[in-house]
């Protein structure tokens, strides 16, 4: 019984995989193959040759590589802009500290600033 259930499960997985492959590669219908009722029909699928499958996969791979290169370029631009922004923040922080020190020196030099009477 377990063998039968296992076989049915494997068959279902095979059918699911077959439908996924057919959908992915968009098989074209032909009228030369019989349908499930034994009659010729335009609902049957034409299988692609290995060369066609490889060509489609190569095209897909090239498109994915092109997109990845574009994303990589965008990420490099963002990284450079973030570095520039970090440098600008650090420079602003340094300038703020200098101004703060000068204000402290000025406040201590002026007796009016320390005596508010």
The token pair at 9 is: 């499960």
For residue 21, count other CB atoms closer than 10 A to its CB: 14
44 DSSP β-pair partners: 30
The token pair at 39 is: 């009659």
CB 46 within 8 A of CB 28: yes
CB 68 within 8 A of CB 86: no
| Confidence tier at 113 by pLDDT (50, 70, 90) | low
CB 25 within 8 A of CB 17: no
Distance, CA of 7 to CA of 33 (rounded, Å):
27
What tens digit of pLDDT does each residue of 6-63 get? 778 778 887 777 777 777 766 555 555 554 454 444 545 678 788 888 989 999 999 9
Q: How far is CA 34 from CA 1, 41, 44, 71, in A?
A: 33, 6, 7, 47
Percent of the chain past pLDDT 90, that is, above it, reads: 39
Would you kindly state where each structural domain of the chain is located, as residue ranges?
Answer: 1-47, 48-117
User: Would you give the DSSP letter of residue 40?
Assistant: B
């Amino acid at each position: 019984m377990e063998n039968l259930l296992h076989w049915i499960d494997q068959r279902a997985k095979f059918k699911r995989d077959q439908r996924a492959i057919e959908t992915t590669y968009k098989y074209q219908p032909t009228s030369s193959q019989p349908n499930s009722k034994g009659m010729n029909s335009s609902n049957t699928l034409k299988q692609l040759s290995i060369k066609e499958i490889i060509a489609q996969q190569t095209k897909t791979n090239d498109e994915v590589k092109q997109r990845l290169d574009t994303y990589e370029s965008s990420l490099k631009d963002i990284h450079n802009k973030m570095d520039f922004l970090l440098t600008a923040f650090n420079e602003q922080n340094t300038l703020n500290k200098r101004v703060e020190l000068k204000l402290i020196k000025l406040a201590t030099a002026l007796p009016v600033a320390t005596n508010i009477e």
